[in-house]
Amino acid sequence: MGCVISHLSAKFAFFPPSPPTYQITKRDDGKLTAIYTSSSMPLTSAVGAVDDGGGGGGGSFDVLSLRTRRGNKIVAFYLKNPYAKLTLLYSHGNAADLGQLFDLFVQLKANLRVNLMGYDYSGYGASTGKASELNTYADIEAVYECLQTEYGVSQEDLILYGQSVGSGPTLHLASRLPRLRGVVLHSAILSGLRVVCHVNCTFCFDIYKNVNKIRKVKSPTLVIHGTEDDVVNWLHGNRLWKMAKDPYEPLWIKGGGHCNLELYPDYIRHLYKFIYEMEIMTTKTRLAKMKLPKKTSPTCSCSCIKVGQPSCPKCPKLQCPECCGMPRCPGCSCCLNWNCCSWGWVKPKCPDVKLRKCPSCLGCGCCTCLGTCMRCSCW
């Protein structure tokens, strides 16, 4: 039963354009180029800001064929901005391919001043194989490896962008990269099954369990969602934002649907603000945002343990500047009143300090009360 539902969820998740909107061909110099299926014209013919290698233009455009660990060959587009400091890795939605998104990529590259890497999932566009959850994970891993080896992009200079179903592979990779610069979730899903059935619990046969992976992401996370999204309800984005460890100011586009958020002026304005703040964020600030565990041990060189204050109102508050506020017994480095019920000291190793046995010594345990019992055999 679980396999059947998982298969149905996958059918709801993947709608690759058929036929693909572009094709891949080889040029005379051996490099790959992309052409529109309908017109056989290069994708760059309608865009003057991108150079596909022939000279001029405001950057470079590379067409790549990458092999994944699951044996598929996927197509990726790399658009370089000469003024960029960061790189955006874009994972698209379920019903688009690179041919349809190329114009958007050019605009994002120019307006956000970033390098941009987009890719088609297995079974999409000119990529081989079949679309599936596990294949998309392998796909984004192959693209990230390419960014590292071919373009020298480290995770500190990378922002992951996931739209709709693309939020699945995006959070999959983001949960494994603790020093990632940032994450953008655009019309993201909590999980595949939650889009179809609106369930509140997670089943083993569900796909893209973003509701679990968002907790593992340590990077600043921007969530963008339309309030009138009739495909993935706004509540998906709202919950992901609330569950993020380092949530950035979200963008709820009033009246926005599932596939038209790019048309709203607030979209590019807010996204640019996020990119800019990620650019100027220093290493010190990023480490502070990761909420590293604080040291709880005392900083002094002695072997004492930090203690609280005595519970008896008549007792003075003992402070020792050399011993983290803890008194020490004469002649040794251990604590005199080690069995104090109100301070919780540990047992000393010194053989001269003996275990108290009489009822008077087992009372408050504070300095004033112990002063009345200093002559007993316990001491």
C-alpha dist (Å) from residue 107 to 58, 89, 213, 237, 361: 12, 15, 30, 24, 79
Cβ count within 10 A of residue 161: 25
Residue among 191, 229, 236, 270 flagged as catalytic: 229
Residue among 9, 122, 132, 164 flagged as catalytic: 164
SS3 content of the chain, % helix, strand, coil (to 5): 30, 15, 55
Q: Is 60 a catalytic residue?
A: no
Strands 182-186 and 221-226 come out as parallel
Spatial neighbors of 247 by CB under 8 A, at least 6 apart, are 220, 221, 223, 241
Q: Longest C-alpha distance within the chain, in Å?
A: 104
What is the spatial distance between Cα 171 and Cα 160, in angstroms, rounded to a whole number?
Answer: 8
- First-to-last alpha carbon distance for the chain, in angstroms, is 73
Residue among 92, 172, 186, 258 flagged as catalytic: 258
Backbone torsion region of residue 261, taken as left when φ is above 0, otherwise alpha when ψ lies between -120 and 50, otherwise beta: alpha
Q: Is 258 a catalytic residue?
A: yes
What is the spatial distance between Cα 42 and Cα 24, in angstroms, rounded to a whole number?
Answer: 10
Q: Is 7 a catalytic residue?
A: no
Report whether 21 contacts 100 (CB < 8 A): yes
The residues assigned a catalytic role are: 164, 229, 258
